[in-house]
Chains A and B, each alone.
Chain A
């Protein structure tokens, strides 16, 4: 986003111009507002600018765009009516969950209506015998686990924001989390969806059974970043809580040592539930903020978690300890009990909270590379950081090669912003060139649309555009996302 340097609304001016539909010219006392109020009740419509500003961004706060109105429906029928109304007036509409996304996927880049799903937050059904639950989109990810944990179950996808993010948002972004190494991403845990299509029709895809005849529309809908319709209900899988965990934390001299450990564990045929790494920079930031007792000169911290049946787990943990020692591990910590384990995870999940101390702004990248390419790509990122004099911290899902370089900067400094853009591009280019991809769990949104040509050629993208046209022919549903523009190609020198 070359426009990082500018103030918020300007960021999207040229997107707005590119959008083929005329942006709805919202007026004072616009009849659209009263029609929306008729659907959801006037107390569930926001139009004053102070309240609207809450909805101008998601977790990627450098990208901002003000909606014209936010509505809070509670039923698929209300959403259907809102969508039909939006179509009638030719107004863009965007669904929003908890607003914790990291790619600007819910931004109203052309203005319009935000359909906030926060009031649709009921767990409708818990079916332990079939290990599934039916939820509304606004249900917070962690609530579901809390609702079933006494029965010995949990909901597996665990984004770092799971205390706040909604399952509807998870479905839109196909979210992951630390434990996706073993358990997969959201798509692997969703059986069925009820969706309000972009013309207002309410349809169900998939269901309570694993497969239904015909194309897997449910599968295509998941991860479509809110551009194919609005999910109003989801049937998701519940997993049996593992009998036991073994959580190890190793402190290493270098990133290379820790990366070798990752490869060796996999080579031994052990698939841990999670394999998380923090680099020197993150260790220092986390230590200064939270005092976990990490040595400030350590090169890398690696967290390995085994889960499952207790029998045999101890000997696997011993194997891992051996691998640690073979790779110059300075210190190994074992979680003795659940409290210890939570402490270790807190140190990992608190990483993001510590960056605020380091710079006013940061962008979290989300590239993925083949595991074996990790050392090479991390070295490349260090070079890029040096070249542009922009600090980059790394905290990432090492097990599946999903890196999260945290690019630190100050958005008030135009020169820095320009360099940050170059940094982003070079990092993602390095991921693509290593045989990887530009996003593993955050989505493209507005943040990475310029970089799509790094991994997809115009023909690949044309197929995606074709599918988008089928689901979203008017283009009114969450416009201005995912697809690169002529400017994107120019920027990439393509």
Chain B
């Protein structure tokens, strides 16, 4: 206990009382059931440097975080020393609307940023899970994305530059603030999706989009998956430019109903959107859609919200969330595998496919007992992973009960580039300070 008191005293010296999460709230940041020794919320880059220095001197590990929504992604930790949240670094640093770019501190919440951008008729086009709480730093560190990546790309297409505190405490920048930049190596790509293993992101410059004039959603319902998949691929190969094109298996947005359905976003100039709606109706008819609904206003927002929160773990009972990356032509077969799994299991399996990107979220839930039959679920995931790997894809586990994560590697195989990844981690974090052992291959 005295150690813990000492730790608190020392950290207060660096970040002040306001920079330390009260003990009774530490469980909010528990990872796989293990609470951290402390959660520090530095108010400046300098404080981050000090915390990292202190941690290095005292052989404590540090897990960088934003608001903590994706802390659970990764190999279960043996112990959790410090969680360093950038959530108090939450300012917009530079915003010139006519440049369609913005530079923010990493801890700013996406929702707060969007509210500011909306005032100027603009927005940041990523719509990842936990959008109400997650921070820009967290989004970039985890390379989080949502359905709109179909039209506007993922973080790797939208992040222009970053400032990062390295494990040594040195502050470095990558990229810049302009939309086109090939000066030096593109190290943004290295930090994106590195899950805090290479440094603490403190500042991010982003590319923005103008808000569309109008937004419409079309929900198509089908009698079977095959027709839905065919419709999606016909749309993908057409002149239509949907913002998103998501297929739901066994869990429709809002209604949660079992029949397959396709939710599509059409945004932009009114004439362009109207023409697309007509085209979609024709395609839907040809593919024997049983229901066609066009939505705007509040209903449209509700549908979209329900879609974006699909891969969130908000359940009181255990669930497993997997994400598969496939070629888009392999998604149909994969979804059929998912459906068969649902029919033959004692638990529920549902899926959402980002049809233009080949990304499929699969959610296992409603296990017969509260812990879930871990081994059987692990087998099912292994089978799905094989199904993805057999066609050149991969599957990672984003959320799962700890016992399950100990049974099956959440990241899956990495392939021939692993040695390089390991070398990068070793050079960037030679003392092994940052989110150690939780990334691919135990990096």
A→B interface (CB under 8 Å): 127-132, 173-174, 176, 180-181, 184-185, 187-188, 197, 203-205, 207-220, 222-224, 240, 242-243, 263, 266-271, 308-313, 315-316, 368-372, 397, 400-402, 435-444, 448, 452, 455-457, 459-464, 466-471, 482
Q: How far is the CB of A408 from chain B (nearest CB, A)?
A: 24
State in angstroms the CA–CA spacing of A130 and B391 once bound together.
Answer: 13
State in angstroms the CA–CA spacing of A127 and B233 once bound together.
Answer: 14
Which of B178, B184, B193 lies in contact with A482, CB distance below 8 A? B184
State in angstroms the CA–CA spacing of A145 and B39 once bound together.
Answer: 53
Which of B184, B192, B274, B411 lies in contact with A461, CB distance below 8 A? B184
B→A interface (CB under 8 Å): 94, 96-101, 121, 143, 153-154, 156-157, 166, 170-174, 176-190, 192-194, 198, 209-213, 233, 236-241, 268-276, 325-329, 357-359, 392-394, 396, 411-412, 414-418, 420-421, 423-424, 427-428, 439-441, 443
25 A-B contacts, Cβ less than 8 Å apart?
A: A129-B233, A130-B327, A130-B328, A130-B358, A131-B236, A131-B328, A184-B157, A203-B420, A204-B417, A205-B417, A209-B358, A211-B193, A212-B414, A214-B414, A242-B239, A269-B213, A309-B241, A371-B98, A372-B96, A397-B180, A400-B179, A438-B183, A456-B173, A466-B427, A470-B423
B237 and A129 within 8 A (CB): yes
A370 and B177 within 8 A (CB): yes
Nearest to B192 among chain A residues (CB) is: A216
B275 and A211 within 8 A (CB): no
State in angstroms the CA–CA spacing of A181 and B328 once bound together.
Answer: 26
The 4 A-B pairs at the shortest CB distance, nearest first, are namely A219-B189, A269-B210, A312-B271, A311-B275
State in angstroms the CA–CA spacing of A460 and B358 once bound together.
Answer: 36
Q: How far is the CB of A300 from chain B (nearest CB, A)?
A: 18
State in angstroms the CA–CA spacing of A443 and B186 once bound together.
Answer: 11
B153 and A211 within 8 A (CB): no
B327 and A208 within 8 A (CB): yes
B178 and A368 within 8 A (CB): yes
State in angstroms the CA–CA spacing of A313 and B275 once bound together.
Answer: 12
- If A130-B329, A269-B210 touch, does A370 touch B421 (CB 8 Å cutoff)? no
B166 and A437 within 8 A (CB): no
- For A271, what are the chain B residues with a Cβ–Cβ distance below 8 Å? 209-210
A219 and B156 within 8 A (CB): yes
- For A180, what are the chain B residues with a Cβ–Cβ distance below 8 Å? 180
Q: How far is the CB of B395 from chain A (nearest CB, A)?
A: 9
Q: How far is the CB of B278 from chain A (nearest CB, A)?
A: 9
State in angstroms the CA–CA spacing of A254 and B180 once bound together.
Answer: 25
Q: How far is the CB of B38 from chain A (nearest CB, A)?
A: 28
A216 and B190 within 8 A (CB): yes
Most B CB contacts (10 A, CB to CB) among A203, A212, A442 go to A212
- If A213-B396, A371-B99, A437-B176 touch, does A468 touch B185 (CB 8 Å cutoff)? yes
A401 and B357 within 8 A (CB): no
- If A224-B185, A266-B100, A271-B210 touch, does A209 touch B327 (CB 8 Å cutoff)? yes
- For A468, what are the chain B residues with a Cβ–Cβ distance below 8 Å? 185
- For B412, what are the chain A residues with a Cβ–Cβ distance below 8 Å? 213
B180 and A401 within 8 A (CB): yes
State in angstroms the CA–CA spacing of A181 and B184 once bound together.
Answer: 21
A215 and B190 within 8 A (CB): yes
Q: How far is the CB of A150 from chain B (nearest CB, A)?
A: 14
Which of A127, A211, A457 lies in contact with B325, CB distance below 8 A? A211
Most B CB contacts (10 A, CB to CB) among A217, A310, A452 go to A217
- For B275, what are the chain A residues with a Cβ–Cβ distance below 8 Å? 309-312
- For A459, what are the chain B residues with a Cβ–Cβ distance below 8 Å? 170-172
- If A400-B179, A470-B420 touch, does A267 touch B97 (CB 8 Å cutoff)? yes
State in angstroms the CA–CA spacing of A439 and B96 once bound together.
Answer: 21
- If A204-B417, A214-B418, A469-B427 touch, does A316 touch B440 (CB 8 Å cutoff)? no
- For A208, what are the chain B residues with a Cβ–Cβ distance below 8 Å? 327, 392
- For B273, what are the chain A residues with a Cβ–Cβ distance below 8 Å? 312
Q: How far is the CB of A309 from chain B (nearest CB, A)?
A: 5
State in angstroms the CA–CA spacing of A402 and B209 once bound together.
Answer: 19
Q: How far is the CB of B235 from chain A (nearest CB, A)?
A: 11
B182 and A443 within 8 A (CB): yes
Q: How far is the CB of B94 from chain A (nearest CB, A)?
A: 8
- For A220, what are the chain B residues with a Cβ–Cβ distance below 8 Å? 185-187, 189-190
- If A129-B329, A216-B189, A372-B98 touch, does A460 touch B178 (CB 8 Å cutoff)? no
Most A CB contacts (10 A, CB to CB) among B185, B276, B440 go to B185
Nearest to A264 among chain B residues (CB) is: B98
- If A188-B157, A437-B183, A471-B420 touch, does A466 touch B177 (CB 8 Å cutoff)? no
Q: How far is the CB of B87 from chain A (nearest CB, A)?
A: 25
Q: How far is the CB of B211 from chain A (nearest CB, A)?
A: 7
Which of B98, B239, B328, B357 lies in contact with A243, CB distance below 8 A? B239
B183 and A209 within 8 A (CB): no
- For A372, what are the chain B residues with a Cβ–Cβ distance below 8 Å? 96, 98-99
- If A269-B121, A435-B177 touch, does A214 touch B272 (CB 8 Å cutoff)? no
Which of B184, B271, B325 lies in contact with A464, CB distance below 8 A? B184
